[in-house]
A and B are shown apart, each in its own frame.
Chain A
Amino acid sequence: MMINEAEDEEKWLAEGIAGIQHNAFYMHRALDSNNLREALKYSAQMLSELRTSKLSPHKYYDLYMRAFDELRKLEIFFKDEGKHGVSVVDLYELVQHAGNILPRLYLLCTVGSVYIKSKEAPAKEVLKDLVEMCHAVQHPLRGLFVRSYLAQISRDKLPDIGSEYEGDDGTVMDAVEFVLQNFTEMNKLWVRMQHQGPGRVREKQEKERNELRDLVGKNLHVLSQIEGVDLEMYKETVLPRVLEQVVNCKDDLSQYYLMDCIIQVFPDEYHLQTLETLLGACPQLQPTVDIKTVLSRLMDRLSNYAASSADVLPEFLQVEAFGKLSNAIGKVIETQVDMPAVGAITLYVSLLTFTLRVHPDRLDYVDLVLGACVKKLSNIPKLDDSRATKQVVALLSAPLEKYNDIVTALTLSNYPRVMDHLDNGTNKVMAMVIIQSIMKNNTCISTADKVEVLFELIKGLIKDMDGSDVDELDEDDFKDEQNSVARLIHMLYNNEPEEMLKIICTVRKHTMAGGPKRLPFTVPSLVFSALRLVRQLQGQEGDIVGEEVPATPKKIFQLLTQIIEDLSTVPSPELALRLSLQCAEAANDGDLEHVAYEFFTQAFVLYEEEIADSKAQVTAIHLIVGTLQRMNVFGVENRDTLTHKATGYSARLLKKPDQCRAVYACSHLFWVDDQDGVKDGERVLLCLKRALRIANAAQQMANVARGSSGPVTLFVEILNKYLYFFEKGNQQITGAAIQGLIELINTEKQSDSATPDSASDAFLASTMRYIQFQRQKGGIMGEKFESIKL
């Protein structure tokens, strides 16, 4: 059916075009022979093609344009009185004899154009006449086009200020009056093209109506171009008249289009000054009009206007733009109860953008907008519309981007309330946005109160929210989240120890709620934050005598103990061990022997009871020994206990080579190169000898298990250690002992069961080179090394 219709239309259009061309041909002949009568006759016939009702707007336009082009030629002919001999006044009367109204009007307008140009009559009178006569065509499509023709030919002949048509007989007011009248009539015609009817028909009609809308809108454009239309005239005459028509036509398609047109076509400063009038029209429009989009576009325009230059900002204040806009929005949302969430929120996003551009310093305004949004969101259950959610995220991101400083956003009391209305997933997305904003801008959050607010905002990341299932979350995403939180902790800082301690306690309070999954990520950051504070206080010690000072290293160590204990819920013994050792060292630096001892105890207990993996044990023992080696705060008894434990565990590692290395590492526990460091030569040697025994045992085991002994690397390592202490002046280590060890190594290498190994060969070779080098040094060192006979 539809295809046939289209085919028919093509046929009719073709017929119409043919008709026009046919008559145009004869019209041209008449023009050439200066035959006015014939010219009028054929032009009238030609214009009769426009009387058709069979064409859709799109096709009718095609036909119209052809007629339009032909009429231009006719106009030229009309203008040249010499050719046809009739005065324009008479011509004006003559064309009214055309048989049918439509051709009559087109011809009249064409002559009218010449008439006005001739100045034989005032422009205003001719225009008035024409615009009223067009009233005779009430068919919507035909009427629209003929009035459009009138608008086109009159465009450059309006009595605007500075135009040649201005004068006693024509003022700007007349021009405006003319355009307004034409506009009003055109809109009425347009509205009459109802788009009622069943589905497909209605769609088609709506489409057709839309194709014609620019014809109507053009008039507004013309009005905006009239020089004489200043703010005063716009305010007093143009806008009220246009709005009157918009409201009275009671047609949603027209209202939406025209409101938007007004906003786009007239200057922004006009809108500012007529804001009340413009907004006042909104509640009077049909309820089906998408007023929120209109308002959004208005606010976007005004936002851009504000951004264009700082000079315009006072104007906004003067007209109380914010107040008027937020009231208008409030009313719209109130009256349109069925407006979906996304619509309302989009409005608020536009208003917020506006506020941030125009009144960036008015945080109270920003908060108001957020508050209004909260109110709207409270009336709906949790958002599940993804578009609405996106808008909320846009709403929340706008202040962050504008202020580049999360601290400002933290002062907006409604900010967290808006976040509360997000679903868990989006809440976390927003939390990440906030964290990223902080990291990007290197923002420092410097009070416990602000930290409190911040952690409230990002609580979706810090702990399990109701309804969310941590297990559902992708592991990598979860890690990213938690690592972000861990990094964030370093941005929370205050130079003032009291406040810093408060911050640490606040963070702890929140991170503890995170549960075993999150603690391994957050605890280390918190611990090191606290250790930095300890170091700061240790640096200041001495200045704060006698005052009631809550922030002391001791207090912080107590807190640290508890924090590390939290890890037992995970459990995370390796991490806890490392952190305990860090604390021990810090306590050592602060001369707190008991505290340091407690931390070592904690570390040993973790080692004994919870670290079973042999590789993990090797690292753990090295960390314990390495830390202990640096301790200078311990008295003899405590030190002995701890070294005894350390060496004991070293010797009990699973693999012999690991045992060997750990034990000779322990030798350093008995020799500290400091001035008052322990230098127990005997016990050093005991360790090294023990290591040697283990290395031997390892060789024998290898022989038995594999049939050949392993590389002599361990022996060479021990040899190096002998040399180390020999150099440092350990009397128990003699040149002879070293000699013996070298011989032992060589014997091992040359034995039948030895496996050649280039690495250990190279190691031995470089060690021997070192001995040579030392011998050649001369002086005391040289002498010493001379005692090693090679």
Chain B
Amino acid sequence: MVLVLALGDLHIPHRAADLPPKFKSMLVPGKIQHIICTGNLCIKEVQDYLKSLCPDLHIARGEYDEETRYPETKTLTIGQFKLGLCHGHQVIPWGDLDSLAMLQRQLDVDILVTGHTHQFTAYKHEGGVVINPGSATGAYSSITYDVNPSFVLMDIDGLRVVVYVYELIDGEVKVDKIDFKKTTATTHSAH
């Protein structure tokens, strides 16, 4: 059982002052093995905070990030799964699942994690799964009205991944979960 925290689009301090207190109290160091962040933190302080939760931190560059050297895309393997990470402002039309599927094919990953729309989605298509953890602070978005703060926790176990989405709705944390299964194991080809 490997726990992967996926979150992003915090937009601190431009659009939000901080993570919601209820989220902060849930995110404690030592419980998570990996963090993948879709970007738009935006300042180093947030990176330091995430790093304190888990040292294995992966960040893709958002268009408002103070650190310009985060990569545009990133791929990593966790257990049997290949994951891809990209903020998403590069994929036009924004939020379009077919275009995101193209990126997924290009990165050759089972799970693609992107952000930018501040709207949680988890979508399975022929090529794999596309997950958008939304905005962890519920930051303003030109694309989505009424953003609820949300983040995703993935539990990767063998060929199965359970995606837990945590959403703050009217002051209460609501949890939902979705199951995905791979049909074949990842072949580690020489890259």
**Residues of chain A at the chain B interface (Cβ within 8 Å):** 439, 442, 479-480, 483-484, 486-488, 490-491, 521, 524-525, 528, 531-532, 535, 578, 582, 585-586, 589, 619, 622-623, 625-627, 629-630, 665, 668, 673, 713, 716-717, 720-721, 724, 727, 758-759, 762-763, 766-767, 769-770, 773
A586 to B, closest residue via Cβ: B142
Which of B13, B43, B94, B191 has the largest number of chain A CB atoms within 10 A? B13
**How far does the alpha carbon of A119 sit from the alpha carbon of B183 in the complex, in Å?**
105
A483 in contact with B43 given A626-B94, A720-B102, A759-B108 (CB within 8 Å): yes
**Contact assessment for A762 and B108 in the assembled complex, using a CB-CB cutoff below 8 Å:** yes
Of the residues B63, B108, B191, contact of A623 by C-beta under 8 Å? B63
Chain A contacts for B99, CB-based, 8 A: 724
B184 within 8 A of A: no
Whether B105 and A528, one on each chain, are in contact in the complex, defined by CB atoms closer than 8 angstroms, is no
Asked whether B105 lies within 8 Å of A767 as measured between CB atoms, the reply is yes
Contact A483 B45 (CB under 8 A): yes
Taking CB as reference atom, which chain A residue is nearest B98? A724
* Given A578-B63, A724-B98, A767-B105, A528 contacting B140 (CB threshold 8 A): yes
**Which residues in A have their C-beta under 8 angstroms from that of B21?**
442
Residues of A within 8 A of B17 (CB): 439, 487-488, 490-491
A490 to B139, CA, bound (A): 11
Q: A487-B13, A758-B191 are in contact. Are A766 and B108 (CB under 8 A)?
A: yes
Q: Chain B, 141-179, contact with A by CB distance < 8 Å: what is the 0/1 string?
A: 011010000000000000000000000000000000000
Q: B90 — which chain A residues lie within 8 A by C-beta?
A: 619, 622
State the Cβ distance, A620 to closest chain B Cβ, in Å: 9
Q: How far is it, in angstroms, between the C-alpha of A113 and the C-alpha of B108 when the chains are bound?
A: 102
Provide the B1-27 mask, 1 if CB < 8 A to any CB of A, else 0.
Answer: 000000000011111111001000000
Contact with A along B50-66 (1 / 0, CB 8 A): 00000000000001100
Given the known interface contacts A622-B89, A720-B105, the answer about A758 and B189 at a Cβ–Cβ threshold of 8 Å is yes
14 cross-chain CB contacts under 8 A = A487-B12, A490-B15, A490-B17, A521-B13, A582-B142, A626-B89, A665-B92, A717-B102, A721-B102, A763-B108, A767-B105, A769-B126, A769-B127, A773-B126
- Beta-carbon contacts of B77-91 to A below 8 Å, as 1s and 0s? 000000000000110
Q: Is the CB of B98 within 8 A of A623?
A: no
Specify the chain B residue showing the minimal Cβ separation from A629. B93
CA gap between A589 and B145 in the complex, in Å: 11
Would you give the shortest CB distance from A431 to chain B, in whole angstroms?
Answer: 16
Say yes or no: B92 contacts A625, CB within 8 Å: yes
Q: Give the residues in chain A near B93, CB-CB below 8 Å.
A: 626, 629-630, 668, 673
Q: Is A770 in contact with B13, judged by CB distance below 8 angstroms?
A: no
**Within the complex, which residue of B96, B102, B145 is in contact with A535, where a contact is CB–CB below 8 Å?**
B145
Nearest CB of B to A556, in Å: 14
Residues of chain B within 8 A of A713, CB atoms compared: 106
Residue from A535, A585, A622, A766 in contact with B92 in the complex, judged by beta carbons closer than 8 Å? A622
CB distance from A285 to the nearest CB of B (A): 53
Task: Compute how far the CA of A724 lies from the CA of B93 in the bound complex, rounded to whole angstroms.
Answer: 12
Shortest distance in angstroms between B177's beta carbon and chain A's nearest beta carbon? 27
**Which partner residue on chain B sits nearest A616 by CB separation?**
B68
Find chain A residues with CB under 8 A from B143 CB: 585, 630
In the assembled complex, which residues on chain A have CB atoms less than 8 Å from the CB atom of B63?
578, 619, 623
- Give A532 to B18 CA distance when docked, in angstroms: 17
Q: Which of A480, A525, A767 contacts B14 (CB 8 A)?
A: A525
Chain B residues with Cβ below 8 Å from A767 are: 105
Please, how many angstroms separate the alpha-carbon atoms of A727 and B11 in the complex? Answer: 36
How far is B89's CA from A629's CA once the two chains are assembled, in angstroms? 12
CA distance A192 to B138 in the complex (A): 76
Nearest to A491 among chain B residues (CB) is: B17
When distances are taken between beta carbons in the complex, the residues of chain B under 8 Å from A673 are 93, 96
Q: A525 CA to B140 CA in the complex, in Å?
A: 11
Question: What B residues does A770 contact at CB under 8 A?
Answer: 101, 105, 126-127
A514 to chain B, nearest CB (A): 15
Partner of A724, one of B102, B106, B127: B102
| Residues of the A chain whose Cβ atoms lie less than 8 Å from the Cβ of B105 | 720, 763, 766-767, 770
Question: What 4 A-B pairs are tightest by C-beta distance, nearest first?
Answer: A486-B13, A585-B142, A524-B14, A766-B105
Cα of A524 to Cα of B106 in the assembled complex, Å: 34
Determine the distance from Cα of A770 to Cα of B63 in the docked complex, in whole angstroms.
Answer: 31
In contact, B13 and A483 (Cβ under 8 angstroms) = yes
Choose among A479, A490, A622, A762 the residue that contacts B16 (Cβ–Cβ < 8 A): A490
Given contacts A490-B16, A717-B106, A767-B105, 5 further A-B contacts (CB under 8 A): A439-B18, A490-B15, A626-B89, A629-B92, A763-B105
- Contacts A724-B98, A763-B105, A769-B126; is A528 near B14 (CB within 8 Å)? yes
List, in ascending order, chain A residues with CB within 8 A of B127's CB: 766, 769-770
Q: A576 → chain B, closest Cβ, in Å?
A: 13
The answer for the CA separation of A721 and B11 in the assembled complex, in Å, is 31
Min distance, Cβ B34 to any Cβ of chain A, angstroms: 23
Q: Are B13 and A525 in contact (CB under 8 A)?
A: yes
Residues of B97-122 contacting chain A, CB below 8 A = 98-99, 101-102, 105-106, 108
Across-interface contacts of B101 in A (CB, < 8 A): 770
Question: For residue A521, which residue of chain B has the nearest CB?
Answer: B13
Q: Smallest CB-CB separation from B102: which chain A residue?
A: A720
Set of chain B residues within 8 Å of A619, measured between Cβ atoms: 63, 89-90
A590 to chain B, nearest CB (A): 12
**Distance, CA A484 to CA B45, complexed state (A):** 11
Least CB distance from B71 to A in Å reads 12
* Chain B nearest CB, measured from A728 CB (Å): 8
